[in-house]
Amino acid sequence: MSRGLGKLQRKLLGTLMFTNRKSQRSGEDPWISRRTLEATFVQQGHTPSNILRALRSLERENLVRIREGRTLDDSYVTCFPSEPFDGETVLAILRQIQDEGIQGGRNPAFRHAIDILPACPDGEKLNK
């Protein structure tokens, strides 16, 4: 098992992160076509199959996202933002989840636990 990212994976990730930062500043689309990536990295001596293998490995690690199309021109790749969310963004997301939970009624998974609840000492509190 590997101890980390390989050379090609690091190069791909660096290129995607650079493009992502650049697109955030200019407001452009952060997605890069696979044709562009392959053209760039084939010139550096990498094979197309290794490029795809490295991209799929990065996707399994949740570092990049691949949008597959019928051709290389229709297939796009981007990386996830490298900066963490600030506290206010996290609180806004949690408030939204809480509001949706209240508006949506009971959690659908809750009905599967109803058979277990009478055996719980606090079953009446949970059932309300």
Model confidence over 17-47: pLDDT tens digits? 888 888 878 877 888 899 999 999 999 999 9
pTM of full prediction above 0.75: no
Report how far residue 46's alpha carbon sits from residue 43's, in angstroms, rounded to the nearest whole number.
7
For the chain, give the percent of residues with pLDDT over 90.
30
Q: If you average pLDDT over residues 111-125, what whole number do you get? A: 47
Q: Report the domain count for the chain.
A: 2
Q: If you average pLDDT over residues 59-64, what whole number do you get? A: 89
- State residue 21's pLDDT score: 80
- State residue 120's pLDDT score: 47
Asked whether residue 94 falls in the same domain as residue 64, the answer is: no
Kindly state whether residue 2 falls inside one of the protein's structural domains: no
Asked whether residue 73 falls in the same domain as residue 34, the answer is: yes
Q: If you average pLDDT over residues 114-126, what whole number do you get? A: 47
Q: If you average pLDDT over residues 93-107, what whole number do you get? A: 69
Kindly state whether residue 91 falls inside one of the protein's structural domains: yes
Kindly state whether residue 43 falls inside one of the protein's structural domains: yes
Asked whether residue 59 falls in the same domain as residue 12, the answer is: yes
- State residue 101's pLDDT score: 65
Q: If you average pLDDT over residues 114-122, what whole number do you get? A: 47
Containing structural domain, residue 36: 7-79
Asked whether residue 31 falls in the same domain as residue 70, the answer is: yes
Asked whether residue 74 falls in the same domain as residue 99, the answer is: no
